[in-house]
Amino acid sequence: MDTLLGAAGIDDSGGGGALPGAAGTDDSGGSGTLPEGARADDSDRGGALLDTAKADDSDRGRALLDTAKTDDSDRGGALLDTAKADRSHRGGALLDTAKADRSDRGRPLLDTAKTDDSDRGGALLDTAKADRSDRGRALLLAGVPVAVKGRHGLRGAGPLLAAGAVVVGATSVPGPGTPWQTWGLGARGRTVNPWRADRTPGGSSAGAAVAVAAGLVPLATGGDGAGSVRIPAAWCGVLGLKTTNGRLASADRTGLAAPGVLARSASDAAAWWQVVSGETAAARPPLPLTALWSPDLGFAGPDPEPVTLARAMAERLEAAGVVRLVRPREPLRLLDPGPAWLALRAAGAGPSRSESAPGPGLAAAHRVRAGNDRRLAGLFTEVCLLLTPTAPTAPHGHEGPGDRYSTSLTWAFNLSGHPALSLPAGFGHDGCPAGLQLVAPHGQDALLLAVAREAERRLGG
């Protein structure tokens, strides 16, 4: 899963959900990552790690990240409390973070990424001299520092660079030797949850989530193949968007993975969406929007606390006039997408198979997908949004999640292709964040971001 590979020492371990067995994890820019069943190599070839905790403050390193002071107090966090965020006209991108405290306390905490300030598009962070025009046209992300996912993340960063963004490094992805799930030590140490160092940040976009939560960057790209953006967003307390499958280019042959973004604010995420999609800023939707709450999608077995936190956030949205919770004619009961997801991923990772003669596993997968597609299509004729917890558990420790599927509430929407967003939903008794997942009809990515912006405006955050 994802951790900044470079800003300070990013954890290539990832550590998000527990997916058994699929093929090798691909954390390259657009292809997303296999949920826990996969190996990713974040070794020296992995490119620009950000390594915030172990960052070199000398010479070129000093000018790169100038991040916020590490506050290890309170919730055990390695929050790099960012100074005065500029949430103004360009979507609230943070340009000025506070000076990083590289003291003994802060050094071992985040381990996110290696900085690459070479000519190949690394950390140019000369924001003071950023050209804020393109022959007279304003650049939406002029001078904004962003991080990209994995060693191939720059391949999909063209629109961001064209909009004036400055790529400061690549976030870490799972290390080798994790065939059961993506957790444990990476090539440069362990990536930790910024709220509790003994917990995982999730993954596979763990480095991205940590970098954003810590204030190193306002935006980080991710790939979401089963929840790889939404789970770390929930567990690190930031916003994470998985786009509609097929809306943006992805290298994933299975079609399960979609590009996404992690951000500290919905405004920042919306600016990213404008740049990569070419869409204009979405108008404020007529509120409240009708929404259905489902604690388990009809098949998952989430723990009580994530459900309670997510439900409370849904009720806060209703009280603020953002949504109106409704009862459907029939409860939503999706088929468990896990076996279908694994069959489709395994087929996509191996030799091509004729669609006219799929094996028994693929045939069953297609039946599950078709059945869930029908149920979701029917649901979205009645309501605008589906609300669920993002993850079924709180962040687990670095020993791994055991036999729990951290993806049980997210990968259904990789199978169906719907856009989905994780919104911060408060903190559990362990001091770690939780998330509320919002799902919209196909192509309604901008609607999710507009709802998230209204939530922030009306509830604060």
Tens digit of each residue's pLDDT (9 = 90 or more) over 439-459: 999 999 999 999 999 999 999
Check pLDDT > 60 for residue 69. Answer: no
Cβ neighbours for 137, distance < 8 A, ≥ 6 positions apart: none
pTM: 0.76
Confidence of residue 283 (pLDDT cuts 50, 70, 90): confident
Containing structural domain, residue 441: 289-459
The reported pLDDT for the residue numbered 106 is 37
Eight-class DSSP state of 127: G
Q: State the total domains in the chain.
A: 1
Residue 456 or 104, more confident: 456
When pLDDT is averaged across residues 365-375 and rounded to a whole number, the result is 97
Average pLDDT, rounded, for the chain: 75
Check pLDDT > 60 for residue 31. Answer: no
Check pLDDT > 70 for residue 422. Answer: yes
Residue 362 or 152, more confident: 362
The dihedral through the CA atoms of 58, 112, 230, 394 has a sign that is negative
Burial of 5 (0-12, 13-18, 19+ CB in 10 A): buried
Can you read off the two tokens belonging to residue 313?
């956030």
Can you read off the two tokens belonging to residue 41?
């190599």
Helix axes 445-459, 304-319, angle to 10 degrees: 80
Q: DSSP string of 17-64?
A: ------S----SGGG---SSS-----SGGG----BSTT---SHHHHTT
With respect to residue 334, please indicate whether it lies within any of the assigned structural domains.
yes
Neighbours of 378 (CB within 10 A): 13
With respect to residue 401, please indicate whether it lies within any of the assigned structural domains.
yes
Instruction: Let me know: does 13 contact 183? Beta carbons within 8 Å.
Output: yes
When pLDDT is averaged across residues 202-228 and rounded to a whole number, the result is 93
Can you read off the two tokens belonging to residue 98?
């506070």
pLDDT 10s digits, 105-151: 333 345 555 434 333 333 333 343 444 444 445 799 999 999 998 77
Check pLDDT > 50 for residue 155. Answer: yes
With respect to residue 27, please indicate whether it lies within any of the assigned structural domains.
no
With respect to residue 194, please indicate whether it lies within any of the assigned structural domains.
no
With respect to residue 13, please indicate whether it lies within any of the assigned structural domains.
no
How does strand 258-263 pair with strand 433-439? unpaired
With respect to residue 367, please indicate whether it lies within any of the assigned structural domains.
yes
Between CA 426 and CA 424 the distance in angstroms is 6
Q: Residues of the chain with pLDDT > 70: what percent?
A: 64
The reported pLDDT for the residue numbered 293 is 98
Check pLDDT > 90 for residue 19. Answer: no
When pLDDT is averaged across residues 406-410 and rounded to a whole number, the result is 96
When pLDDT is averaged across residues 163-172 and rounded to a whole number, the result is 92
Which CATH number belongs to the domain containing residue 304 in this structure?
3.90.1300.10
With respect to residue 265, please indicate whether it lies within any of the assigned structural domains.
no
With respect to residue 2, please indicate whether it lies within any of the assigned structural domains.
no
Check pLDDT > 60 for residue 252. Answer: yes
